[in-house]
Structure 1
């Protein structure tokens, strides 16, 4: 018995994090637990076909987040938005602060953002991980610098950067047959997260001057 336990511990220690039978068996059990075999249809009944299940989730989240355009609800016009912001008299940045905020991204900024990427995060649809960007940072930084500056100048983001893989995690204690009983997580590509990180890093020092002191969330030092 003791020998069997030592052998099991040895196998778990040496093979637990490697691509082999032990890891495959663990992943298989986890996959069976999270696999969605059927969901309740919004029109009644249940659907079991994988394609219909995906369509049902897409319809549910599309309705939940109001992704569709409702012709009965008028869209705000740019002129109305500008008028509202002018009348609100919100805090504004100085001319020098605006110039610094809109300055082109430098390779040093992007290199620092790549180095700060956390380890072990799941990649987006393109399959490129944080480790990939860090491993080839010297080769990728010039290309990313040109891309990010083009996006900031034109306001146009390549469609492939905006793709995401949506993972649904079952909520504990609730039957996994309703779309509402799953929590969605969007896995984004690293390039779009890098661009967001660059914008956040630039605006972070200015937030205390723009946001009221009563607001403490997401403001450095509060």
Structure 2
């Protein structure tokens, strides 16, 4: 990013660009939660599936040295590190020694609900969205470069969470779910369009696009979602620990901005993010299915919603 439109004026001034980026993302990641609205939403829900007792026990089980070694082994090579500069290659080279050390750090952090400061720091790099006006800051996607010691604990927790998702996520969600593909949703929409030509009932298809979907998830809402889906306190507190005191700065061609707090949003670049994001999306699906919208009845089955992560289609 070497130039940006701010207040209707195109600027190449590094200080102006830096300040504009800092203020935009500082505002984006500032919590805007209405506790009253959240309570009304959760009280309106019914027919909520919860995770099995076995998966609850798996999620609540302590992180082991073996978990850490497996996470390090699965780390991809030639990836940009966080701001500490320690690469995945470094962790792989010293895996045995570091696993024991990291295990002590993670267990103590979860017990105290507080990570070491270096694990809470992200470095956001901005990627232009294809075929968008890149002079507008809204058309850049923030990808967080996270320190690998943070990503390792996130990978350990993601492995646990992934095991439980099949208990609670509907088959109408194709995003980030094993065995699902984008073509499932495309084929379904095409079939419904073909079917609509054969019936006389009035019907519609509505496609929803969420503004800054990952970046607008309220942390407290996400933690409540863990409660309502039946996750135990130990796992929930582990997730809360990862998001406590989170902060970031933005990497630009001429330096980095000042640090700012991350009080909402799910870090794009975190191994946990995709799976955590499915929880509020599933609550949206439940809320819609509990509404007065009838949906489309085909061969005795009612279809009202499909999702590919945040890409939501209503019938």
Bin the TM-score by the shorter chain. Answer: 0.5 to 0.7
Residues 204, 220 of structure 1: 8 Å contact kept: no
Query: What is the alpha-carbon root mean square deviation over aligned residues?
Result: 3.0
- Sort the Cα spacing of 1:85 and 1:148 in 2 relative to 1 into closer, same or farther, 3 A: farther
1:84-95 map, 5 Å = 84=42, 88-95=46-53
1-structure distance, mates of 2:42, 2:133: 46
- Sort the Cα spacing of 1:102 and 1:137 in 2 relative to 1 into closer, same or farther, 3 A: same
2-structure distance, mates of 1:196, 1:153: 16
2-structure distance, mates of 1:197, 1:125: 19
Consecutive unaligned residues of structure 2, counting only runs of 5 or more, are 181-315
Q: Relative to total residues, which structure has the larger helix share, 1 or 2?
A: 1
TM-score, length basis structure 1:
0.67
- Do residues 50 (structure 1) and 14 (structure 2) align? yes
1:13-52 map, 5 Å = 36=2, 38-42=3-7, 44-52=8-16
- Sort the Cα spacing of 1:162 and 1:85 in 2 relative to 1 into closer, same or farther, 3 A: farther
CA drift at 1:107:
0.6
CA drift at 1:48:
4.1
- Do residues 196 (structure 1) and 154 (structure 2) align? yes
CA drift at 1:46:
4.7
SS in 2 for 1:191: helix
Equivalence for 1:74: 34
SS in 2 for 1:214: coil
SS in 2 for 1:126: coil
Equivalence for 2:98: 140
Displaced runs of 4+ in structure 1, greater than 6 A?
Answer: none
Residues 148, 195 of structure 1: 8 Å contact kept: yes
Equivalence for 2:144: 186
- Sort the Cα spacing of 1:148 and 1:85 in 2 relative to 1 into closer, same or farther, 3 A: farther
Equivalence for 1:127: 85
Q: How many pairs are equivalent?
A: 180
TM-score, length basis structure 2:
0.49
SS in 2 for 1:199: helix
Structure of higher RCO (CA pairs closer than 8 Å, 6+ residues apart): 2
